Amino acid sequence: MSGQSAIERERAARKAAEAKLAVLEQSQKYKDPAVGLVVALADSADGVAIWDASQTLLACNEAYKGVFGHHPFVEPGIKYADLMDLTYQERMIWPEGFRDGDWRVSLKDRRTSKTMPRIILESHDGRWFRLQNRHTATGGTLSMVVDITKSLAEHRETQRQMIEAEAASRAKSAFLANMSHEIRTPMNGVVGMADLLCETTLDDEQTLYAKTIRNSAEALLVIINDVLDYSKLEAEKLVLHPETFDLEHLIHEVVMLLQPTAQDKGVDLLVDYDLFLPTHFTADPGRLRQIITNLLGNAVKFTDDGHVLVRVTGLPVSDSTEMRLHIAIEDTGIGIPPDRVGAIFGQYNQVDDVTHQRGNSTGLGLTISKELVELMGGEIWVDSEQGEGSVFGFHITVPHEAAPTRLRQIDTADLRSVLVVDDLDVNLTILKKQLQNFGLSVHCALSAKAAEELLAQTEVDLIITDHLMPETNGLEFAQSLRAKKDKRPIILLSSNPLVLRSSDASKVFDVVLQKPLARHALLSSLDQIQGRRPDHKAHAKTLNLTVAQQDTQSSSDRPMRILTAEDNATNRLVFEKMTKDLNVDLVFAHDGNEAVDLFRSHKPDLIFMDISMPEKDGYTACREIRDLETRPTPICALTAHIDIEAASVDHSARFDRTLTKPLKKGQLLEMISEFRPKTAAPLFSLPQSALHQADKAG
């Protein structure tokens, strides 16, 4: 422009003024106010054009002409049909996706359609436009063409990057799932065999080596799981699988798992499950178990004396069947320094003083728990005082299955008052609450001595005593009562019910219950004392000993038939060794085809089915068996996948249960015991060996 002479500039200005005048004249001529709009937008970067009812161009701005490369024909007066022909023949411009075909008819038809949807135009010089049209009041058309070349390029680049990122993340996820499977399969061999090795006769040095292998392998698995879970959460690939489950039972299972460690340290593990809280909820039980295991595991790890308590309460959410569940894990451990509490849920965050250096850890447990709780729509928090202890708590809002369970009252005809003896105040409080709710009057004593004093002055129908107490323990206390010819029923609460093996114990106690106590176990033992039949099944779940005892009773000599489909030879060996002491008829299938064949010929009472097998996988074999069966056969999936998400993608396969590898002997035996039909012989031939098995299983 700067090179233009004054004459040239004046000529250009005159030309522009003449063009505006011409448009204005046309506007007068056609009396269309939209022409004024085009004049007003003469310098706009977006192309604007106005067509009359006969689709003749009334006016357009420079940007509009620019779309057509300022072709001399594109001037007011040109017919829309002619403009289409011109651009088509000269291959100036075409609608997106129509580079090769004839698009003129569809574009002309579009003009007469009611809504005229937006379209994208591509130009021969690589530009892109968005075309929008409106019908005018006089029956014509207003066109607006916006150059979107730049934003489209950016958008396409973002999309390309997104697709690439998604593909990379999918590949990462698949890699992680595969890696998890690949690592866990041989680890099954390591853990399983080391487990079995520990049970053979070894000298002290060998025992130390074998236990070290087992503990190291288990620790490695925890770390692998943490890292894989964390990567999944980071890639937002973790999906929850809600289902209805028994929360109280789940909590007791976790507690039972940690009981041996707590017991070794002399730490009491307690559960206070709110009496009025229902037990069945809908959430992802696997993930909930993971959170609770994590928090409870930490609490046990960082507590050297005192107790760890799981407290479960809930509040109904008004106008819904949902409940806000609060689960808090309190410990009397070392606590967390105030300057570290705030960051404790951050990744790789560990308190780095000597007191916190305990065993294997990744510093990911709390991060994963926090992410999982948030994925469930809840919140997690911590309250801690150094040297005093910590409370880790979380809440989630979940649907519950039925109205809160109304605990029935005990028939109080000959059971009115009970004496509870425990050196731990918190335990007394929990028990008192539970027993009062059954309609009993409750007296508490913090020691055997205090109990004896109380018994001398108070009417008591039943005595419930803790096992390990300072000075006089529960067994000695009961023995001294029996020596005084006291015939009142006595229930022993013990975190180590092996005491049952001692004949002394069976002479003095009416019932021995595993600590921490499940409400139904307490209720059924009260029933038992009342002379009613106890609820064996519910009881059996919390008490491995009862499982074993039950399994010594049967009307038949036919051993339970088990079919296990597993392609990996080491895993078959592990399975065989883990079940070697059971009175079962076990056959192995090496792949899915053989599993289906053996289902027909062996008629198993229970099937264990590996998921990944050559030829025919576990899902397909399971489905085929479901089609063949005349009565439901329990089928338990065996998977080396890190979570059920990967294992149960194919829900149509309808597995009854899932066991994750490495297999745990205790879990395996519990499952076999659960599904042993009444018509099959007991799993353990001798009661003593039954008890022995159950101890190991626990």
Give the residues lining the site for ligand ADP (CB under 6 A): 294, 298-299, 302, 331, 333-336, 344, 349-351, 356, 361-367, 390
Closest approach, Cβ 289 to ligand ADP, in A, equals 15
Residue with Cβ nearer ligand ADP (254 or 435): 254
Distance CA(592)–CA(656), nearest Å, equals 17
**How far is the C-alpha of 423 from the C-alpha of 469, rounded, in Å?**
6
In angstroms, what is the minimal distance from the CB of 381 to ligand ADP? 13
Which amino acid is it at 207? T
Nearer to ligand ADP, 209 or 348 (CB): 348
Closest CB to ligand ADP among residues 95, 363: 363
Starting from the edge strand earliest in sequence, which strands make up the sheet with 47-51, in order?
57-60, 47-51, 141-147, 128-135, 119-123, 93-95
End-to-end CA distance of the chain: 92
| DSSP code per residue over 371-432 | HHHHHTT-EEEEEEETTTEEEEEEEEEEEBSSSPP-PPPP--SS--EEEEE-S-HHHHHHHH
- Our CB check for ligand ADP shows the closer of 332 and 554 to be 332
| Minimum separation from the CB atom of position 356 to ligand ADP (A) | 4
Q: How far is the CB of 333 from ligand ADP (least distance, A)?
A: 5
Q: C-beta of 176: minimal distance to ligand ADP in Å?
A: 19
Q: Which residue is nearest to ligand ADP (CB)?
A: 365
Residue with Cβ nearer ligand ADP (251 or 647): 251
Q: Give the integer Cα–Cα distance in Å for 23 and 496.
A: 100
Which residue's CB is nearer to ligand ADP, number 109 or number 352? 352
Residue closer to ligand ADP by CB (options 332, 472) is 332
Residues 6+ apart with CB under 8 A from 364: 226, 227, 229, 230, 347, 348
Q: How far is the CB of 219 from ligand ADP (least distance, A)?
A: 11
Of 393 and 662, which has the nearer Cβ to ligand ADP?
A: 393
SS3 of 252, please?
helix
- CA 315 to mean position of chain CA atoms: 22
- Rounded CA-CA distance 102/119 in Å is 16
CB of 228 to ligand ADP, least distance (A): 14
Read out DSSP for 285-304?
HHHHHHHHHHHHHHHHHT-S
Q: Give residues with Cβ within 8 angstroms of 678, minimum separation 6.
A: 554, 555, 556
Tell me whether residue 21 or residue 343 sits nearer to ligand ADP (CB atom): 343
Tokens representing 382 are 């911590």
Q: Which is nearer to ligand ADP, 392 or 588 (CB)?
A: 392
Q: How many CA atoms lie within 13 A of 51 on its CB side?
A: 23
Q: How far is the CB of 310 from ligand ADP (least distance, A)?
A: 12
Nearer residue to ligand ADP within complex by CB, 375 or 498: 375
Using the minimum distance from each CB to ligand ADP, give the nearer residue, 182 or 388.
388
Angle of the 592-602 helix axis to the 618-628 helix axis, nearest 10: 30
Q: Which is nearer to ligand ADP, 12 or 343 (CB)?
A: 343
Nearer to ligand ADP, 143 or 390 (CB): 390
Closest CB to ligand ADP among residues 363, 404:
363
| Least gap, CB of 365 to ligand ADP (angstroms) | 3
Rounded to whole angstroms, how far apart are CA atoms 134 and 115?
8
Question: How far is the C-alpha of 437 from the C-alpha of 450, rounded, in Å?
Answer: 24
Please say whether the beta carbons of 291 and 325 come within 8 A. no
Comparison of 232 and 590: residue with beta carbon closer to ligand ADP: 232
**Strand 560-565 relative to strand 57-60: parallel, antiparallel, unpaired?**
unpaired
The angle at the Cα of 253, spanning 249 to 254, to the nearest 5 degrees, equals 120
Distance CA 631, CA 181 (A): 33
DSSP label at residue 518: P
Rounded Cα–Cα distance for residues 567 and 609 (Å): 10
Do 62 and 71 touch, CB atoms closer than 8 A?
no
Q: How far is CA 35 from CA 24, 26, 29, 59, in A?
A: 8, 8, 11, 6
Q: In whole angstroms, give the CA distance from residue 668 to residue 196.
A: 14
Enter the DSSP assignment of 79.
Answer: B
Question: What's the gap between Cα 636 and its chain centre?
Answer: 20
Which residues contact residue 500 at a Cβ distance below 8 angstroms, ignoring those fewer than 6 apart? 506, 512, 545, 691
**How many helices (H) and strands (E) in the chain?**
24, 23
Q: Is the Cβ–Cβ distance between 270 and 330 less than 8 Å? A: no
Nearest to 133, CA basis, from 33, 43, 22, 34: 34
Cβ distance to ligand ADP smaller for residue 366 or 445: 366
Token pair, residue 466, equals: 């803790």
